[in-house]
Amino acid sequence: MRFCDRITKLPALGIGVSTEYGAGDTPHALDPIALHAEQPRYARFLEVGIETAKGLDRHARAWIARGLPATYHFLDVNLDEPEDLDEAWLDAVRGFAAEIRPAWLCGDAGLWHFGKRERGHMLLLPPVLTNDAASALADGICALRDATGFEVFPENPPGQVFVGDLHVLDFFSRVCERADTGMLLDCAHLGIAQRMTGHELLDGLDGFPCERIIEMHVAGGTVREHEGFAFVEDDHHTGVLPPTWRIFEHAVARARNLRAVVFECERNASDRCIPGFERIAAMLSRGGHEALVPS
């Protein structure tokens, strides 16, 4: 079945929050369950970031135990390296997915670790933006989808060094086409990529197949400088930078199959996150996605 047909079976999750192992233990960190109780429209689902070596923490388990909706965000696979999708890892993913019962799998489609999946090897780099790498990444997405039975949506990763002759959106357009899948567009990451590669903020978006955007991420960042070189650190602070909002607003209006938006603010206090949620909800409504923000 082609993705344009499979897409009809995907649930509309609305606005959600993210977590990863230990994030909920950060002092004063947002409590997804409490937010779900107090402001359900801003925490309709939980995106669980999983490194299989660490597993699920008590906060994620508590959410899952309530039977609330979730997505599985992988943090430990290089999809363009066939040997990285080994049976041991796939079995672990299937095990966690059976617990979480996610609507889909998703995650940054970049280099999560150099060498084998091993302690001390972790990092996150964007993919090499070439045609061959797009094909390799698409193959990995198909392999993971086949092995788990879940849709797998690649996310454009952050980074300071982008290498390759393709624009990041052209690259992911090819990935989605070849894997016949949807996309998780991270607006903050896209803003970083545009800046680092010398492009205008919205370059490439009009030519991108926005109907493939199923999920979007919004997150805060901080402009830093090193030896006179300015860059954005993707620190998931609540202070969302103006370029991120602009990309979000532009893409939301074009992503007619959008099902979910995550405000990545997992280590911040709930009251500091609310303005961001409110702005996301308002933009979704203006962009024609009222169904994602029920009152």
Instruction: Please report, as ranges, the residues that interact with other proteins according to CB under 8 A.
Output: 52-55, 80-81, 83, 87-88, 91-92, 94-96, 111, 114-116, 118-121, 123, 125, 127-128, 130, 132-133, 136, 160-165, 196, 224, 226-229, 231
Query: CB 86 → other proteins: shortest distance, Å?
Result: 9
Nearest of 66, 67, 65, 54 to residue 25 by alpha carbon: 54
Query: CB 7 → other proteins: shortest distance, Å?
Result: 29
What is the torsional sign of CA 116, 118, 164, 261? positive
Q: How far, in Å, CA of 128 to CA of 3, rounded?
A: 25
C-alpha triplet 211, 213, 215: angle, nearest 5°:
145
Residue closer to other proteins by CB (options 81, 249) is 81
Query: CB 115 → other proteins: shortest distance, Å?
Result: 5
Residue closer to other proteins by CB (options 14, 158) is 158
Q: In one letter, which amino acid is 136? A: A
Query: CB 165 → other proteins: shortest distance, Å?
Result: 7
Q: In 3-state terms, what secondary structure has residue 134?
A: helix
Query: CB 32 → other proteins: shortest distance, Å?
Result: 21
Widest Cα–Cα separation across the chain: 52
Determine contact, residues 181/144, Cβ cutoff 8 Å. Answer: no
Residue closer to other proteins by CB (options 111, 240) is 111
Residue closer to other proteins by CB (options 1, 88) is 88
